[in-house]
Structure 1
Amino acid sequence: MKIKAAVTHANAEPFQIETVDLEEPKAGEILVKIAACGICHTDEATQHEQVPTPLPAVLGHEGAGIVEKVGEGVTEFKKGDRVGFSFAFCGHCDNCHTAHVASCEHFNDINFGGVLRDGTSRLSQNGETLSMFFGQSAFAEYAVVDADCAIKVEDDSIDLGIVAPLGCGIQTGAGTVLNFLKPEFGSSIVVFGCGAVYFAAGLKPHSLRAGGRASGQAL
């Protein structure tokens, strides 16, 4: 199918809104109409070839949207489902099997290597293959995404523009506090910086504090 996408052609060149070709989803994949996508520093770094994704490419890795079609074997999603998605992972290595998907042994290959898990891209332009990014390439009208990387948004009242940055920036900040620092109730932490990651890192302690108060009241 023909879609519009923001294409990065060469080092430090501006994004160009152009027509590209997107293949149908294969087994284990879904086709999503993009409703929102966050812009991350990693996208800018890749645009300037500070990340080893081959150019030209369609970047964008904080996507959210509406499922348009599902590939063979996909049972957890259907047309019309609202979804957000995050980074890709192989699902087969030791780290994936122990639920440490962010430490997937093939993380770099399938997120920065320009291809999906089967080693091919779904994007092309004038017969030339375009690199994909983080298993989604969400700077586009539509994206083919590994179904394992998507999560259904059950509450229709939630704005997909809020869901989108949860896929990278928000989980990076909140996850650092929750999974690495692991502050105890009543302890203090200091967060330096600004932007979405900083905001999420600062927000998580507030939610932990609120949870602690609620538990105390329940007791």
Structure 2
Amino acid sequence: MTTTTAAVARAAHAPFSIEPVSIEAPRTGEVLVRIAGVGLCHTDLIARDQFIPIPLPAVLGHEGAGIVEAVGDGVGKVAPGDRVVIGFSSCGSCPRCAEDLPSYCQSFPALNYAGCRVDGSSGLDAAGERVSGHFFGQSSFAGLALVSERNLVRVTHEDVPLDILGPLGCGFQTGAGSVLRSLDCPPGSTIAVFGGGPVGLAAIMAAAIRQCATIILVEPIAARRALALDLGATHAIDPAAGDLAAQIRAILPQGVEFALESSGRETVIETALASLTSHGLLGLVGVPPRPDSALSVNIAALITYGHRIHGIIEGDSDLDTFIPELIDLYRAGRFPFDRLITRYPLDRINEAIAAQARGDCVKAVLIP
């Protein structure tokens, strides 16, 4: 066992506590990674608050990047000293994984949300108390993380700052992948993105990469609207300025061909659906406020206009191909996600959560 410092979730809606945690040596197929930086994601907070019912106490964190310290038996993908980005877990053997769609792995909930290995064990404890780990196959709110080999993507470019790469494993790949993969927006198409957080602004950058003709951001925070315009949006709308669907149709009278909704709020989703042109496609990536959240859809309108709704997980990313693609786009200056990041020490995680909630920063990255 090795001791590391971790941010531990001990109760729903309560601050994280910074405390020492013991971590096992890597087992067969596992890798021990020293974390250089880990993104703070809304999914971590809904797990702490038990929307995802992971047993508490738990070490969360699922947007880690770092350096390989040790490898378990059978690991051949990485070696000690390698720089890596850590993504989500998948089984590698189900029909979806075989189709290079690991984010739709049929074992995704068990592998990412359960807080333990497949055999029920956890590699973490605090003074003899079992602590849930293996969140998204990593639990990277810590100085060290036990990671499934399949989760890892080796970073070969030394010129890329490692500490900020973790969000490519979830939030940034979700936004970018939604546009480039899930919706597959063609050049010259039109899109409205609802929500200017990390996912929404990554989608704005991806729409610019794809050369969409009209790129609209809907976002209440003025600074984020201004940033979106700088990152490639053609229009930025304040939802408080009046009827939102009318504002969008003032720009595109027939509506948008694509919409991406990142807030999870039912009323916003309904507005996004109403903003579509005929045969328009709405992508949903936002976590709803409650597990029983539901939509009211006018079936006749849906059929009449051929509107489509697509639930999206992780932007349809295949980690081994898509994360290197995003890094290449970053190095070329076409996906400047570093402009969204503010660094915080891990022991200031609660301050970072409050700052992100206020909109003071777009994406907090925690440095152990």
The two structures, once aligned, show a CA RMSD in angstroms of 1.3
| Separation of aligned partners in 2, 1:42 and 1:188 | 29
| Separation of aligned partners in 1, 2:31 and 2:119 | 14
Tell me the alpha carbon deviations over residues 26-75 of structure 1, each in whole angstroms, 9 at most, x when there is no partner.
11111000000000001111111111111110000000000001111111
| Separation of aligned partners in 1, 2:153 and 2:118 | 18
| Separation of aligned partners in 1, 2:108 and 2:48 | 19
| Separation of aligned partners in 2, 1:178 and 1:207 | 9
Aligned counterparts, 1:27-42, within 5 A? 27-42=28-43
Worse-matched range after superposition: 82-91 or 122-131: 122-131
Aligned to 2:20: 19
| Separation of aligned partners in 1, 2:92 and 2:130 | 25
TM-score (norm 2): 0.56
Tell me the alpha carbon deviations over residues 99-142 of structure 1, each in whole angstroms, 9 at most, x when there is no partner.
11101111111111011344321111122221111110000000
1:140 aligned partner, one-letter code: A
Bigger RCO (CA 8 Å, 6+ sep): 1
1:168 aligned partner, one-letter code: C
On the 8 A contact 1:30/1:70 being kept in 2, the answer is yes
On the 8 A contact 1:90/1:117 being kept in 2, the answer is no
Aligned pairs, how many?
210
Alpha-carbon spacing, 1:155–1:118, altered in 2? closer, same or farther (3 Å):
farther
| Separation of aligned partners in 2, 1:83 and 1:118 | 26
On the 8 A contact 2:38/2:164 being kept in 1, the answer is no
Aligned to 1:60: 61
| Separation of aligned partners in 2, 1:142 and 1:62 | 13
Aligned counterparts, 1:1-219, within 5 A? 1-132=2-133, 133-209=135-211
| Separation of aligned partners in 1, 2:99 and 2:120 | 24
| Separation of aligned partners in 1, 2:169 and 2:182 | 18
| Separation of aligned partners in 1, 2:50 and 2:185 | 36
Alpha-carbon spacing, 1:97–1:120, altered in 2? closer, same or farther (3 Å):
farther
Tell me the alpha carbon deviations over residues 68-105 of structure 1, each in whole angstroms, 9 at most, x when there is no partner.
01111111211110000111111222211221110111
| Separation of aligned partners in 2, 1:116 and 1:97 | 22
| Separation of aligned partners in 2, 1:144 and 1:180 | 30
| Separation of aligned partners in 1, 2:141 and 2:37 | 9
2:22 aligned partner, one-letter code: D
Deviating runs (4+, > 4 A) in structure 1?
A: none
On the 8 A contact 2:30/2:72 being kept in 1, the answer is yes
User: Unmatched 5+ residue regions in structure 2?
Assistant: 213-368
On the 8 A contact 2:33/2:147 being kept in 1, the answer is yes
- For the pair shown, which has the larger CA radius of gyration, 1 or 2? 2
Alpha-carbon spacing, 1:45–1:56, altered in 2? closer, same or farther (3 Å):
same
Worse-matched range after superposition: 148-157 or 41-50: 41-50
| Separation of aligned partners in 1, 2:163 and 2:33 | 15
1:97 aligned partner, one-letter code: A
Query: Is the partner of 2:137 in helix, strand or coil?
Result: coil
Identity among equivalent positions (%) equals 46
| Separation of aligned partners in 1, 2:129 and 2:171 | 31
Displacement after TM superposition at 1:179 (Å): 2.0
